[in-house]
Structure 1
Amino acid sequence: MILSRREKFVCYAVTYLFALFLLAPIVWMLSTSFKGQLAIFQKPPSLFTEFTFQNYAAVLSDPQFLHAFWNSVLISSGTVVVSVALAVPAAYGLSHLTGGRRAGFLSWVLLVRAAPGMIYVLPYYLAYSQIGLIDTRIGLILINSVFTIPLAIWIVIPFFDAIPHEIEEAAIIDGATRFQTMTRIAIPLAAPGIASTAILIFIFAWNEFLFALTLTRFEARTAAVSILSYMAYEGTEWGKVAAAGALILLPVLCFSILIRKYLVQTTAGGVKG
């Protein structure tokens, strides 16, 4: 379909406006992170009035924030490992089901993800209190995985569906077991989809706030929750808040850039490779 010049202009305009809408808060946060306390409250406000690293120095010298940042790394990575390890075999099995059984299983899987997280807070808090998982990294990894595994299953299934059944049938005829077919053929061919899913799981776990706030105290507190320490009764240290927010954004950005090729590959491309 060939678009007219006017239609192209409208498409580009909408795209740039949407990008501006998404990026404006990030740009303002970065600008604030390099300002002193007085410059932050300057009227009229300005993006670039001064340039200082004092906010980053204060945040990076804060042992509580560094501890929380390391917790986020461990918890997010652990959530990725657990979710991918359980979701990939489940998605592979469901991709080989047909008819009502597949639709039924997928519907039940989706129900877990469809419910708001708030309704799980009290049951998990009471359960964790009894088994000693309050304020533990394992506890957050488990509850994050409860919500990311259904999402991962739904994302990975189409990648397995796109693999020609003839390839797997040929492997089985040659003597491969179903497990060998999954690990040596299906998973390598669906690698772009699995990598994309891992990125989404990591981002979800990294940015998760509700459970990290209610199920932790100090030992397992994540970076997202640690920002609250800069919002005291005496006032909010906006420079530190912005600097901490920029530091929290950095790992997700770097992680996405490093494996961005998986995000743009299609399943067809993965099968051909």
Structure 2
Amino acid sequence: MKKKNRVKNIILGILTVLVILIFSFPFLWMLLASFKTQAQIMSTEDVLLFKPTFDNYKSVFEQYDFLDFIVNSLVVAVVSTIGSLLLGLPAAYAIARYKMQKLSLVILVARIVPGITFLIPWYILFSKIGLVDTYTALILSHMLVGLPFIIWVMMSFFEGLPHEIEEAGLIDGATKSQVFLKIIMPISGPGVITSSLLSFIFSWNNFMFSIILAGDKTKTLPVAVFNFISYSETNWGALMAAACIITLPVLIIALVAQRYIVSGLAAGAVKG
């Protein structure tokens, strides 16, 4: 019996290593390519053994002004996430507590519908009121997807909290808003962290809205990376360096907050 279990563990370990290698290979190749010259990237020799260079990262920041794009992406992602939380948390709590099934269905439909469906009406609206190439247009467009996601994740979390917690607060003299802010929100930390992080990651990586609504002043990182590709040549070294810069914050967030993400997606830490 022990021998069979040992064989199963060995097979499981081998399969786990294979899965990790398969999924991590594109990132590792991207990381290695960011330290290569254009000729080294195109060559099939010495894939792993080469003399690294930092010229790609220097050109990204010096030649392409990548720091401005980082600031643009950071502003849009942070503000759109905060705005979605301010609107989405009370909405999710109200839907969960008062059983607004029809409204929850509308939120679900808004979550399922592809964002490209709203792109043309969104562009026409913003162009009419002169908001194209502004932070406002990008933030609102990102909230269009982030807000329904936060509401849908937090609805299931709030539904898992027992009503006795709120009743105890009301008996002690707290108002409903005080119960929500001082009792419900502190114990909903995993759900809030999960929804906000995933919303931030969506906004940070979003390309579709930015390619249409952003301009020279508000160009974000995904659009800036796209500019490395031209009809005549693709600057693969700078492209890989820029891709690593975009990926690094998301990777750090995933590693640091993975515990909260897993517990938050479990739809509530307290069950009634």
- TM-score, shorter chain, exceeding 0.5: yes
SS at match of 1:235: coil
State the alpha-carbon separation in 2 of the partners of residues 260 and 233 from structure 1: 40
Aligned to 1:229: 227
Aligned to 1:17: 18
Aligned to 2:187: 189
2:28 is equivalent to residue 33 of structure 1: no
**Residue 156 of structure 2 contacts residue 268 of structure 2 at CA under 8 Å; is this kept in 1?**
no
Per-residue CA distance 1:117-165 (angstroms, 9 max, x = gap): 2221111111110111111111111011011111111111222222221
In structure 1, stretches of 5+ residues that fail to align are none
Identity of aligned residues (%): 35
State the alpha-carbon separation in 2 of the partners of residues 224 and 22 from structure 1: 21
State the alpha-carbon separation in 1 of the partners of residues 63 and 199 from structure 2: 28
Aligned to 2:169: 171
Aligned to 1:241: 239
Residue range with higher mean Cα deviation, 236-245 or 106-115? 106-115
**Residue 134 of structure 2 contacts residue 218 of structure 2 at CA under 8 Å; is this kept in 1?**
yes
State the alpha-carbon separation in 1 of the partners of residues 113 and 263 from structure 2: 31
SS at match of 1:105: helix
SS at match of 2:132: coil
State the alpha-carbon separation in 2 of the partners of residues 254 and 194 from structure 1: 18
**Residue 191 of structure 2 contacts residue 268 of structure 2 at CA under 8 Å; is this kept in 1?**
no
State the alpha-carbon separation in 2 of the partners of residues 236 and 57 from structure 1: 17
**Residue 161 of structure 2 contacts residue 270 of structure 2 at CA under 8 Å; is this kept in 1?**
yes
TM-score by length of 1: 0.90
**Residue 190 of structure 1 contacts residue 271 of structure 1 at CA under 8 Å; is this kept in 2?**
no
TM-score by length of 2: 0.90
Match of 1:134 among 122, 132, 135: 132
User: Which runs of structure 2 are paired with 1:47-86 in the superposition (5 Å)?
Assistant: 47-86=48-87
SS at match of 1:35: coil
**Residue 172 of structure 1 contacts residue 181 of structure 1 at CA under 8 Å; is this kept in 2?**
yes
**Residue 31 of structure 1 contacts residue 48 of structure 1 at CA under 8 Å; is this kept in 2?**
no
Pairwise CA distance, 1:7: 4.4
Kindly tell me: are residues 261 and 43 of structure 1, through their superposed partners in 2, closer, same or farther at Cα, counting changes over 3 Å?
Answer: closer
Report the count of equivalent residues.
Answer: 268
Match of 1:157 among 155, 158, 162: 155
Equivalent residue letter for 1:62: Q
In structure 2, stretches of 5+ residues that fail to align are none
Pairwise CA distance, 1:75: 0.5
